[in-house]
Amino acid sequence: MSATDERATMVHTLREEPGSYARALDDGAEVIYRVLPSDGGFVAEWEYVAASGSGEGPERSHGEEFSSHADALKYLEENFDDPLTGRGS
């Protein structure tokens, strides 16, 4: 699946309610995107998990707080590739 298709699937999966979406990468690593309820709002977060035995460093993660579910999802959509570049970690 292309990155564009994967992004659209993630948005569709998380659009209706908070939850998580896992993206398997070609190198065996995985990125987990989450929208979770928080105190009066929502948290958008991603977590990069390296493939076991890859020799890569520790996991990377990043989260941001938003007042609405829609804003949290928009953040994940706009920053979909950040886990691959290490930005925001």
pLDDT digits (tens, 9 = 90+) for 36-66: 999 999 999 999 998 876 555 558 899 999 9
**Taking residues 60-75, what's their average pLDDT?**
96
For residue 4, the surrounding DSSP H or E stretch is helix 3-15
Beta bridge partners of 43: 36, 65
Give the C-alpha separation, 3 to 15, whole Å.
18
* Residue 11, Cβ density class (10 Å: 0-12 exposed, 13-18 middle, ≥19 buried): middle
Q: Helix (H, G, I), strand (E, B), or coil: what is residue 83?
A: helix
pLDDT value of position 58? 56
Which residues are CB-neighbours of 4 under 8 A, at least 6 positions away? none
Q: Residue 76 pLDDT more than 90?
A: yes
pLDDT value of position 88? 61
